[in-house]
Structure formats: structure tokens, C-alpha cells
Amino acid sequence: MSLFDTPEIIRLPLQDAEIDYYPQFFGLEDANALLDELYQNTPWQEDDIKVYGKIYKQPRLTAFYANNQTAYRYSNISMTPHPFTPLLNSIKTTIEETTKMTFSSCLLNLYRDGQDSNGWHADDEKELGKNPVIASVSFGAERLFHLKHKKIKTHKHKLNLQNGSLLVMKGETQHQWLHQISKTKKPIGKRINLTFRLLK
């Protein structure tokens, strides 16, 4: 995004949520270059997760970066942070300027193909505090992002997260809604997602 562009913003029309979608936050060339760079140079890890007492491989690869040494815990996984790289720091700064927020950490997800996924959850760990702001950047293959209201079963939404997009979830979103990236049988390539968070 150049300094003088005003990116298109779409506010999702959802009750009890504040979600802004910037479909082309990064131009296509930048998005493709960032996908390659992050794919090659990230120390991807494959964690085990426990579901109803059984151990499985998490269906995606991850890496965690932060500007302190505090581990991040979710779903029985504890992630030790790497220090921010200059590249991740520059992406963080761009997003901080747009959102007028500051972030202290970034969780990277690599979805190798359509069989990689991220199950229903909310980013509501107590270290994130009340009404956390989560800024989520996508590079590579388009994937469907599903949302469902925790209490009102008829309230659901889905959108395609396109290459170079930014999705900002804030307000009560994490307390009232769940989200997921579902598997797809379509033959698709890799996707990298970055979620910037502020850990208290």
C-alpha cells in the first residue's frame, strides 16, 4: 500500500461485532513476494494438539513472534516467541498506522494446502484482555473464513480472505463470535496468515 492510497474498507454487517475488511491492503506483487519470503524464512513448527484426550498433529504449521519473551498459550500449546524480524516489524508498523493500535506479537499460520485448517475458536485468552484487537493479514491461496455467533445460532457469515487482505476484528467480536478456516477439497496452494495481537 502506498502512503497516498486510501484502501477500500468493508465493515461486515454483523451484530455484536466490529470487523473491518480491507480486500487489497497489499498489492498483488507485494503480497506474492511476502508469501515467498515468509514461507522460506520462517522457522515453521508442527505442534501436537490434544482433542478429547487423543494426540493429533495440528493441521497447519505455526511460528510465534513477540517483542518480549512471554510464551503464548492456547489449546494446550505453549509457544516460545522469536524476536520480530525486520520484515515482520515493517508489516506490523504499516498495520499499526492503519488501525491506530499497537501490537506486541504476531502468530503466523501456514496452511500447506486445502487439508490444513483452523477449528472453531475465539481469540479470547485472558492475556489478550477485554475487547482485543486482532489484525489478520493473508497471503497466498484464498480461504473461506467462517464466523458464527456464540449464542444466536442463526447469525453466521463467511467471506473469502483474498491474497494481500487485512481483516481487523475488534470491540466485542472475540467475546460474542467464533471463527474458523475450514478444510476444502479444492486443489489449492499454500496460504500464510499473520495475526497481530497485543498481549497484556
Ligand X SMILES: O=C(O)CCC(=O)C(=O)O
The footprint of Mn ion (CB under 5 A) covers 123
**Contact partner, 163, from Mn ion, ligand X, none, Cβ < 5-8 Å per class:** none
From candidates 145, 173, 174, 176, binder to ligand X by CB under 6 A = 145
Print the SS3 string covering the chain. CCCCCCCCCEECCCCCCEEEEECCCCCHHHHHHHHHHHHHHCCCECCEEEECCEEEECCCEEEEEECCCCCEEECCEEECCEECCHHHHHHHHHHHHHHCCCCCEEEEEEECCCCCCEEEECCCCHHHCCCCCEEEEEEECCEEEEEEECCCCCCEEEEEECCCEEEEEECCHHHHEEEEECCCCCCCCCEEEEEEECCC
Q: How many residues bind ligand X (CB under 6 A)?
A: 12
From candidates 107, 110, 133, 168, binder to ligand X by CB under 6 A = 107
**Contact partner, 38, from Mn ion, ligand X, none, Cβ < 5-8 Å per class:** none
Give the nearer residue to ligand X in terms of CB position, either 5 or 195.
195
- Cβ at position 106, least distance to ligand X in Å: 10
Give the nearer residue to ligand X in terms of CB position, either 123 or 199.
123
- Cβ at position 111, least distance to ligand X in Å: 7
- Using CB under 6 A as the binding rule, whether residue 184 contacts ligand X is answered as no
Q: Which strands make up the sheet holding 156-161, listed edge to edge?
A: 118-121, 177-181, 143-149, 156-161
**Contact partner, 94, from Mn ion, ligand X, none, Cβ < 5-8 Å per class:** none
From candidates 105, 118, 165, 174, binder to ligand X by CB under 6 A = 118
- Using CB under 6 A as the binding rule, whether residue 116 contacts ligand X is answered as no
Chain contacts with ligand X (rule: CB under 6 A):
107, 109, 118, 123, 136, 138, 145, 161, 179, 181, 193, 195
